[in-house]
Amino acid sequence: MLHSLVSLCAREVVSDHSSSPAWLRWVPRELYGALLEAAFACCRPLAVGELVQRWPERSLRVGGRRRTGQPAPSRLCIQALLLAVVRGLAEHRSALQVLDICGLQGDEGGMGDPMGGWSLTVALCTMVVQARAGAQRAQRKEGDRERKRFSALERERDLKRERGQRAGVKAEETGPKGPASEEELIRGVRRRMEMERRRGTAVTGLGGSKPEAEEKETQWEVSVHVRADLFVNARSWERVRSALTTPGPLRLQCRYLRVEEISATSIRTLLSLLPRRALLGIDVRYSSLGVAGLAELLPLLATYPRLSSLRLHYCNLDLRRDNPGQEELLRELSRGLADLQELRQLSLTALRLPGQLRVLLSSLPQPLEVLELPYLSLSPTDLAYLSCSHHVSSLQQLDLSENCLDETTVPSVRRLLSQASRSLLHLSLSGCGLTDGLLGLLLPSLGGCWALKSLALALNPLSMAGLVELVRTAARMPCLRQLLYPNPLEDYLPGLPDLPSSTQLLEWPLDESTDTSATSNQLSKVLTDSGRADLLLTCDLLNYDKDLVD
């Protein structure tokens, strides 16, 4: 990657922290952004701290979507950033009013020691508490200075009075307003100090400590609004709740909320503490919501006017019409989803919804752009509805992984692909039981998806001949940039069933006696013969990332 001259110079400047006092005071405000970007890229936490403490702009955005191959910021740099925000508040050297770190988190244990979502959330909460403690200390110091000033004024007045008495001159004779007004001021100060002492004693006597009384009387003015993506689980729940309810100079605003392993009651409490206009999406994972819990959450989610993304993963939802009371719960869910006016992304993973897709999706007021339905045991009725729904022509991303496809569902899938051919950018049919014959029926429809950028077909029982036909079709798709293909059946050790499941394909060992690169070389040759050098072929399921092509 080529760097601009400004970027190269900024990297050189931040490389030597010992020289920062010499140049930092002379840097124009237009170069702070380039210097901060260079400090993050070169992992210079001291430079990050110095720049943020003196940040000249009202807003600062760090994070967002990273370029291909760009690592996440290191943990040390993020910690230096947060500490500098607190110090900037205490020293009044920063003009910062809005800090946006949405998307700053990386994968725990990744390259460069990034800070994961959970660790970043805990660090943010610690920053809020530290900023409040620092502001309280500053207020106490300011109060001590005021008291000392009043005491000095009193001593000076007493000294003048004593001198006047010795000279036989009364203070009141020097003027009707000056000394009298000064004496009234001192008496007023004494009365106020005495009233504050009595008020503090009264509050303390009611069971509260003096710091608690001061906190109740303090009207905090928010100096910096911090926008971030929060990751909350059972271990961090209390700390996050404390940070959101703690008044102080910093205020947290959540863009995307991810919660894991906490109850529906705790999720409701957490949502009630978040600013409503800031929340764009919520991701609930491994929480035993049940159908009743989700029905209780949806009306609360409807009060967030900008909520556009809802993701539910392994939340113990089992919707079956034969269970008592399920019909009414289904109607409640449908009404709750109908109130989500801005919803554009819906992800439902392993929620056991056979035959219920029409009930859930037909009530949505706006067509979806992202629909993820893996492990849902979709029935032929579900796929038939989806292929004719009002969502299909607007879909940009569709995930039907681990839903079994056969001869009865292929016509619906072909109709779905035909309707979505103009808009669909990402498609996943991994683990759907596609054989050579079924894939052959789908290839014409797949080839018609001209806008498709990524296609995932891992863990399907395809032979080498089927893979070759797949790559030939992919080579004729002009926008396709990434294809995740399965290992051919010929690469496995003998013993696989005739129609192996995705679990068997994942766990069955490959035949190490064969050349593992032969499949890749043969498929690459098909691409080369087709004149496509910009299409990435991979069978690496763990490292596959569709977002790399955006």
Is residue 40 located within the same domain as residue 160? no
Contacts of residue 131, defined as CB under 8 A and 6 or more positions apart, other chains included, come to 85, 86, 89, 224, 248, 249, 250
Amino acid, single-letter form, for residue 8:
L
- Selection from 155-159, 170-174, 193-197, 297-301 with the highest mean pLDDT: 297-301
* pLDDT tier for residue 465 given thresholds of 50, 70 and 90: very high
Is residue 433 located within the same domain as residue 537? yes
Q: Is the pLDDT of residue 418 over 90?
A: yes
520 three-class SS:
helix
- Count of C-beta atoms within a 10 Å radius of residue 431: 25
pLDDT tens-digit profile of 328-370? Answer: 878 888 889 999 999 999 999 988 778 889 988 999 999 999 9
Residue 231 lies in a domain: no
Is residue 430 located within the same domain as residue 549? yes
Is residue 429 located within the same domain as residue 531? yes
Residue with tokens 């290191």: 74
Domain with 153 in it: 133-168+181-217
6 three-class SS:
helix
Residue 49 lies in a domain: yes
- How deeply is 82 buried, as exposed, middle or buried, from its count of CB atoms within 10 A (0-12, 13-18, 19+)? buried
Q: How many CA atoms lie within 13 A of 163 on its CB side?
A: 6
CB 409 within 8 A of CB 435: no
- Count of C-beta atoms within a 10 Å radius of residue 379: 18
User: Domain count of the chain?
Assistant: 3
Question: What six digits make up the tokens of 385?
Answer: 């509805």
Residue 536 lies in a domain: yes
Which is it for strands 426-428 and 536-538: parallel, antiparallel or unpaired?
Answer: unpaired
Output the pLDDT for position 512.
83
Q: Specify the DSSP element, H or E, that contains 292.
A: helix 290-301
Q: What is the DSSP string of 91-143?
A: HT-----EEE-TT----TT-TT-BPPHHHHHHHHHHHHHHHHHHHHHHHHHHH
pLDDT tens-digit profile of 129-188? Answer: 888 888 777 767 766 677 777 777 777 777 777 777 666 644 444 545 444 455 555 555
pTM of the model: 0.82
Contacts of residue 285, defined as CB under 8 A and 6 or more positions apart, other chains included, come to 258, 259, 260, 261, 311, 313, 314, 315
Is residue 93 located within the same domain as residue 137? no
Is residue 9 located within the same domain as residue 91? yes
User: Which H, E and C letters describe 335-352, residue by residue?
Assistant: HHHHCCCCCCEEEEECCC
- Count of C-beta atoms within a 10 Å radius of residue 409: 23
Mean pLDDT, rounded, for 284-300: 88
Helix 210-217 and helix 178-205, axial crossing angle in degrees, nearest 10: 120
Mean per-residue pLDDT of the chain: 85
